[in-house]
Structure 1
């Protein structure tokens, strides 16, 4: 007999498998939750598109496209529109064989789109007369819209190596080919319901009676336009210029620069106010600016446009190409303006818009531009 007491051995615990299967289970739960979110959101987006189509049709639009479905799982939301056709009651709109729109599934306020097969723009009616269509082709036709839920989103439209063709030669386009075109709209800093806009095209050429063609077909034209537009929500909600004008819409800090012949492209996102820097030998530099332009009750523009012009072009021909002197008034205006405007060197003068007309001094040279 012994005094040693031997305790019974404790049973060993089985090794936990949570360390092995826990992360796998957690990942499976996350994937299932994300998949549920994606398919739910995809269905909601498709429903919203169809509801918006019904709203447009009820408002008098033509709005049609082939049946759609949302793809892009797991990270993107992609909508492929085929035979897209959206035309407003005024006859303005667009159609395209194919438009692809997409956004990240976790950032549905930001979308990008492209039209790989080009598109057709409908120019609408002026005085009851249909202005026809414009075919637009290019190596890249793309658009983006960010912060869509905000009062003023950020929008960009861009095209490279553009070729434009109008169906009605009676309404010539500003240009028929261009190396690049871009349009930007962004909220004006510290100003509610206002947007900064910028339109820029480079390397443009055109047929006679077009903006680019009237300056000569041999040398390419570049133009940049900037300004700030008030009451943007009216344009976004109603889409009618007359309604915008009735709300007190205005364009401030308007700037335009037009350059022809042998110059580097205009800077993107900035405006160069000087007309200096052009090459000698016939290059044209035009700068136009206005602190404020407002619409009259008739829709005609009211305000002053300060113009600075340099180059060997006759200033009267430049004003005619810019439609600031109408063909009907050219015969009357030319002798008087030849007495006040030189044909060489830098010219500085003002065009005033009031009472539906455009005036240089006391001489009415054309009707004032009218809102579309």
Structure 2
């Protein structure tokens, strides 16, 4: 009799849980439709070719085929978007991006493929509080570059409290760039990372209008640590940066680097830096290295970016292009 009662209790719990799951699964398409209608009322085109909910009994898995969102200032479309959540915690979603996805600001496009391409979104009181992106073996195809960008892995992490600056961290491993994109560096970057704080208005999407609005709002990136390893170059830096009216980086900081002589020689051989300027910079680096080397043997020198020109110490060494 005792076992019969236990069995009935388990059956009732299973039936109750099944009812909860099927209720949420049935409501999910209606909630997504309501969100899409709200976005359409704001002038955003929202569409998909198919939507289904799976994952019984312990997950809600929302599969959206051929999703697309378009506004006057940009668009996103993709082959498939899959969202994963636990029925008891709809404030945390894991997103999977399958196939090829495309971002556009109306003039330029960025294709993203490879994979797995994953993101984690955590919400608090209806707002996005944390975003984590993990792209494994991604292939990025910017329309404004002569070829694709590939990597072993690219990660991004962003977290904020309501009204507070956005804390960010990013890292790329085995990043391969098209030839000539970054002057003076080999096409393969072994590792690059950045930790800092983003201040200013929110950036809904990485488009020129949104970046310009962020810049006008007093947008600033405070870099507490940035690192780059490529060939013989070993570099760490910190500083404070913004964007000028042409969306070129501007700001100042301190760089600690080893292997800069090879970079300068490459810039000179490419005609990007005059031979006399190259010799002057190498001389200044040698002098600075006598007084300021860290434990890794890197030379510490100040740098600045102003009016599209990168200056290392007192010497201008390269032109800086707009970020988009």
TM-score, normalised to structure 1, is 0.69
Q: Following the alignment from structure 1 to structure 2, what is the Cα–Cα distance between the partners of residues 108 and 68? A: 18
Partner of 1:249: 219
Partner of 1:44: 27
Question: Relative to structure 1, is the Cα distance of residues 72 and 286 closer, same or farther in structure 2, using a 3 angstrom cutoff?
Answer: same
Shift of 1:362: 6.3
Shift of 1:44: 3.0
Q: Following the alignment from structure 2 to structure 1, what is the Cα–Cα distance between the partners of residues 152 and 206? A: 33
Partner of 2:255: 307
User: If you compute each CA radius of gyration, which structure gives the higher value, 1 or 2?
Assistant: 1
Q: Is contact 1:309–1:315 with CA below 8 Å preserved after alignment?
A: no
Alignment RMSD: 3.7
Q: Is contact 1:163–1:177 with CA below 8 Å preserved after alignment?
A: yes
Structure with the higher strand share, 1 or 2: 2
Q: Is contact 1:208–1:214 with CA below 8 Å preserved after alignment?
A: no
Question: Relative to structure 1, is the Cα distance of residues 366 and 90 closer, same or farther in structure 2, using a 3 angstrom cutoff?
Answer: farther
Shift of 1:334: 5.2
Q: Is contact 1:351–1:360 with CA below 8 Å preserved after alignment?
A: yes
* Residues 2-151 of structure 1: pairs in structure 2 closer than 5 A: 19=2, 22-91=5-74, 93-117=75-99, 119-125=100-106, 130-138=107-115, 140-147=116-123, 149=125, 151=127
Check if 1:171 corresponds to 2:145. yes
Gaps of 5+ in 2: 290-297
- Of the three residues 192, 205, 212, the one matched with 1:223 is 192
Gaps of 5+ in 1: 1-16, 262-282, 321-326
Partner of 1:275: none
- Of the three residues 151, 156, 159, the one matched with 2:132 is 156
Q: Following the alignment from structure 2 to structure 1, what is the Cα–Cα distance between the partners of residues 155 and 299? A: 29
Q: Is contact 2:261–2:282 with CA below 8 Å preserved after alignment?
A: no
| SS of equivalent to 2:152 | strand
Q: Following the alignment from structure 2 to structure 1, what is the Cα–Cα distance between the partners of residues 166 and 177? A: 30
Shift of 1:199: 1.5
- Of the three residues 170, 174, 177, the one matched with 1:206 is 177
Shift of 1:25: 4.2
Question: Relative to structure 1, is the Cα distance of residues 56 and 351 closer, same or farther in structure 2, using a 3 angstrom cutoff?
Answer: farther
Check if 1:336 corresponds to 2:319. no
